[in-house]
A and B are shown apart, each in its own frame.
Chain A
Amino acid sequence: EVHLVESGGGLAKPGGSLRLSCAASGFTFSDAWMSWVRQAPGKGLEWVGRIKRKSDGGTTDYAAPVKGRFTVSRDDSKNTLYLQMKSLKIEDTAVYYCSTNIGDYWGQGTLVTVSS
């Protein structure tokens, strides 16, 4: 059974940093393109970024609001996806979900709150 479990959320100050992790199991993680999607309180879904599998170059793409501040990475030896967030803004407050790029599997989400 596929499981995606996010962790690392919490409270951060504006301008601060946070790293989210997503532990994957039940499928061949190294073969999967993976994505991060967020949802601000009471708002819709917003695509954040993705990373391709290493055999496809392992390259990343980002949404404009996070480009240059957020970095998606992966450790295939640990079956783990990461989202490094820097220069956090109040508007980054959201539940952050990891998902397979296809969209067929999602984690339960982790809440990031950016507040002074």
Chain B
Amino acid sequence: DIQMTQSPSSLSAYVGDRVTITCRASQTISTYLNWYQQKAGKAPRLLIYAASSLQSGVPSRFSGSGSGTDFTLTISSLQPEDFATYYCQQTYSPPRSFGQGTKLEIK
């Protein structure tokens, strides 16, 4: 099974900051990677699919990059509504494992 490791586990930042979250796969997954945002008590929301494609309706301040085993999610200028938990998920093969999550908090 493919293991997904996110870093950091938590992050404090200011509104307006540029933030990067990383995700590493235990084996190559090409660009079969999704990024999600989850707010407390809500279902996850797809932000990025295929490592770098922006889901419809998602603000352009979100971007994804990477291939193989190393991936990043970048938020170019944090907005108040961006404070949430972020997860990566490999969609290369089942079981389609998630990273452990990165909690983004207001500094």
Contact = CB atoms under 8 A, between A and B. Distances in A.
B3 interface: no
Contacts, number: 53
B95 A104 contact: no
Contacts of B55: 104
Given A44-B87, A103-B34, A61 B46 contact: no
Looking at chain B's contact residues, the main secondary structure is loop
Interface residues of B, number: 21
Interface string B49-93: 100000100000000000000000000000000000001010100
Interface stretch (B14-22, B23-31, B36-44): B36-44
Given A44-B101, A45-B87, A35 B96 contact: yes
A47 B96 contact: yes
Identify the 3 closest CB pairs spanning chains A and B, nearest first. Answer: A61-B94, A106-B43, A63-B95
Interface of A: 35, 37, 44-47, 50, 61-64, 97, 99, 102-104, 106-109
Interface of B: 1, 34, 36, 38, 43-46, 49, 55, 87, 89, 91, 94-101
